[in-house]
Structure 1
Amino acid sequence: MTCQRVRDIKERQKNGIIEIRVLKKWISKGKKEELCYQFVDAYGDGIEATADVMHIEHFDSIIKLESCYKLSGYIAVGAQTYMATVDHPASLVIGQKARFDPAPELSLPTIYFNFATYDMLKRRIKDTRLLTETKKSDVEITLWPEKTHLIGDNVIPGDIVAITSTMVTEHNGRLQLESTYLTNALINPDVPETIDHVNRLKALPIVEPSTRIEPTTTIAVLKLRSQQNAQNFTWKATIKHIHEDRGWCYVLCLKCSNKLYPKQDNDELTFVCKDDDEITPNFRYCVNATIEDTTGNADTVFFNESMQAIVNISRKDMVTKHAETSNPKIVSPLLKSITGTTRLLHLTLKPDGQIVVNSVSPQQPRRNQQAQQQEHQHFLQQHQLPKQ
C-alpha cells in the first residue's frame, strides 16, 4: 500500500498510512494538559500529534523517541492554535485506535526545520512556528530558566545557532523570540539551509549581545480573584452579541465522553472518536455571548441546558435541521435571532472571573425595583464591569 505524505494530510478527510519518525515528546501546559508529539516524514515535513495525558503509560509502551513507525488509525484535525511547533494546517489526534507499527528499516530525517527570515517574524507573532534567523538582523532571544543550558560557552562567532520552536513577541516596537517547552538549540546543524552559510558567517566581526530584558508582572495580577469562591446571581439582562469566532457547540462520545471529531465523507458529515469505533454523538451547546442591562455588560457562556431553554431546540436539531453548515464557528440564523432578547438569567461567577449561565427563567418574579438595582450594583462591583 502506498503511504501518504505528511504535507498532504488535511483536516476532516480520510487519511492513509504515514511513515514517520518520532522527534519530540512533551506535555503541554495550556488550558488542558495534553501529551504531545512531533513527527517528521521522509520529505522533511513535520506534523504535531496530541493524545490524552491520562493514557501516557499506554503510549510510552508503544512509542519510542527517535524511532520510525508506520502510523494509521489517527484523526486529522485543525492545527494547534497555541505554540504550534510545525508549519502545517492540520494536526493529529491519537487514541486507543491509533496503530504504531515499528519500521526500523526506514531512513527518515532526525531533525525538523522550517527556517524563517527576520522579515517573516512580524506575521508570526500570533502564529508561532519553528524560527531561525538567517539575515544580519538583531533579534533578542529570551531563554527561560529551564532552557538556559541550550547555548553554552562552546559557541563561537561564526557559528549558526538554530533555535527551534520559539514564540514571537513584540516589545517597544522590537520583535523578540521567547523559548517554549519544546525549544531546542542546535549549533551548525547539518542541513542544506545552513551548510552554505557556515564558512561565510565565521568571517563576520563579533556582535555585542544586547541587554536582556526581564519580563515583569505584579502581585496584584498574580493574586487576582485567586481567593474568591464561586458566587451565584440572578440577572435580568439582554443578549447583546454572540461571539461567533469562539464557536457555539461541541460533540461528545456518548460511550466514553471524549470529544468527537467531524469527518467529511463525500457529502455526508460523520463524527469519529479517537478510542471507540461504534459511537453515538452527544451534541452540546457552548455559546459565548455578551449580555447587558442599563448599568453595564459582561461576557458569559451559555451551556447546553440554558441555551436550549432559550431557543427551545436541541443542539442535534440545530445542527441537522437548522444550521447552514456543520462548522461550529458559523452560527445558525435561528441562533442569531436571540440577539436583542431579554431573559432572567441565573449566573455563576467563578473564581477565575468567568461567568456561566446555569439556567434561564421564562419570567422575572415580582420584587422590589430598588433591591434589583442594588443587586446589579453589587454584581458590577464584584466583576469590575464598565458602566455605559
Structure 2
Amino acid sequence: MTTFNDNLQISKMSTICLSEVKVYGDPAPIEVRVLKKWIPYHDKKYIYYLFVDAHGCAIEATTSTNNKAHFDSVITIQSCYIIDDYVCLSKRPYMPTVGHDASIRLGMIATFTPSSNNNIPDHYFDFATYNELMPITKLPKRLTDFIGRVIDDKHKPVKSTTLRKIIIIDEDMISSETSLELTLWPNHNVKAPDKTNIGSIIAITSAEVKEYMGKYVSTK
C-alpha cells in the first residue's frame, strides 16, 4: 500500500524522459509503465521488458532469468513505477523491439516505487511503412510494428500442420505485389483474431520481417 509519505516522496523525485537515457550514462530515476515481458527464443538467459513513459518514448530493459522470482514479485505488467538504481547499456545487437540506442539492465538493487501517473500510455507502437522495411530486414535486424489493410486471409496446409497467412498493404503499397505477408503458426502463442475481414485495418507488433523471393514476409 502506498502511504501519504510515499506519495510525498514520489512527488519530490525528479525523473528523466526515456529519450535521455544514454549508453553507459549515469542513471536517473525514470517513471514508466511496464507494457510487457518476454524471453526471446534465441536468448533464454534474459528476461526482457518494454517500458514506455508519459512522453511516448520506449526502451527495452533486461534482467537475468536467475532473478525471475524476485522481479515477478516486484513487477506487475501494465503497472507504473518510478525506477532507479539501474544500469545503462547499449541496445541488444540482434532484433531489438525499439530503435533507442540504449537499454536498461535491472539488477537486484534496482528500486521500483509504485506510481499512479495516469498520463503514461498503456500501449506503444513505432509503425514502419512499406518503404522503411528494407533496412529493418538487414543486420542488425529490428523487430517491427506495422499497420495496414487486409487484402487476403487464408489457411494453407503445410506437411502436418496448417498455416494462416494474412496479406496486408499500407498507403505505400499499390498492389499485392508490394505487400506484407504475415504467417501465423498454430503452435506459437500469438494474440490474433480468429478471422479478419477483407478491408479491415490491423496492427502487428514486435514482428520479424524478412525478404523472401522479392517480397516481405513476417512469421509469428
User: TM bucket by the smaller chain?
Assistant: 0.7 to 0.9
Candidates 128, 139, 150, aligned match of 2:192: 150
Percent of aligned positions that are identical? 36
Q: Which amino acid aligns with 2:65?
A: V
Closer, same or farther: CA 148–97 of 1 in aligned 2, 3 Å: closer
SS of alignment partner, residue 123 of structure 2: coil
Query: Going by fraction, where is helix more abundant, 1 or 2?
Result: 1
Provide the rounded CA distance (Å) in 2 between the counterparts of 1:58 and 1:28.
19
Verify the 8 A CA contact 1:7 1:45 in the aligned structure 2: yes
For residues 291-306 of structure 1, the aligned pairs below 5 Å read: none
Q: Which residue of 2 aligns with 1:34?
A: 46
When you count strand as a share of all residues, which structure comes out higher?
Answer: 2
Q: Which has the higher contact order (CA 8 A, sep 6+)?
A: 2
Distance 1:85 1:104 in 2: 26
In the comparison of the two structures, how many residue pairs are matched? 178
Larger Rg: 1
User: Per the alignment, in what secondary structure is the counterpart of residue 103 of structure 2?
Assistant: strand
1:298-337 mapped onto 2 (5 Å cutoff): none
Q: In the alignment, what sits opposite 1:8?
A: 20
Structure 1 gap segments, 5+ residues each = 180-388
Counterpart residue type for residue 131 of structure 1: D
Superposition pairs of residues 83-232 of structure 1, within 5 angstroms: 83-125=95-137, 126=139, 127-133=141-147, 134-135=170-171, 136=173, 137-145=178-186, 146-147=188-189, 150-153=192-195, 155-179=196-220
| Alignment match of 1:72 (pick from 80, 84, 107) | 84
Q: Following superposition of structure 1 onto structure 2, how do residues 56-71 of structure 1 map, counting pairs within 5 Å? A: 56-71=68-83
Counterpart-to-counterpart distance in 1, 2:190 and 2:14: 43
Q: Contact between 1:87 and 1:130, CA under 8 Å: does it hold in 2?
A: no
Q: Flag the 1:83–1:55 CA change in 2: closer, same or farther, 3 A.
A: same
1:33–1:144 CA distance, 2 compared to 1 (3 A): farther
For residues 82-133 of structure 1, what are the alpha-carbon distances to aligned partners after superposition, in whole Å with 9 as ceiling and x for unaligned? 2211121111100111111000244310110001100000000132133214
Q: Where in structure 2 are there 5+ consecutive unaligned residues?
A: 1-12, 148-169
Name the amino acid aligned to 1:171.
Y
CA contact (8 A) 2:179 2:216 kept: no
Q: Is the 8 A contact 2:179 2:215 kept in 1?
A: no
Q: CA RMSD in A?
A: 1.7
- Given that residues 144 and 207 in structure 2 are in contact (C-alpha distance below 8 angstroms), is that contact kept between their aligned partners in structure 1? yes
TM-score by length of 2: 0.75
**Residue 303 (structure 1) aligns with:** none
The Cα offsets for residues 221-269 of structure 1, whole Å up to 9 and x where unpaired, read as: xxxxxxxxxxxxxxxxxxxxxxxxxxxxxxxxxxxxxxxxxxxxxxxxx
- Residue 31 of structure 1 and its aligned partner are, at CA, apart by 4.4
Query: Structure 1 residue 13: deviation in Å?
Result: 0.7
Structure 1 ranges of 4+ moved more than 3 A: none
Within 2, Cα distance between the matches of 1:53 and 1:172?
Answer: 38
Q: 3-state SS of the aligned residue for 1:29?
A: coil
For 1:22, which of 28, 34, 50 is the aligned residue?
Answer: 34
Q: Please report how far the alpha carbon of residue 36 of structure 1 lies from its aligned counterpart in structure 2 after TM superposition.
A: 1.0
User: Where in structure 2 are the equivalents of 1:375-386 lying within 5 Å?
Assistant: none
Distance between the aligned counterparts of 2:207 and 2:22, measured in 1? 25
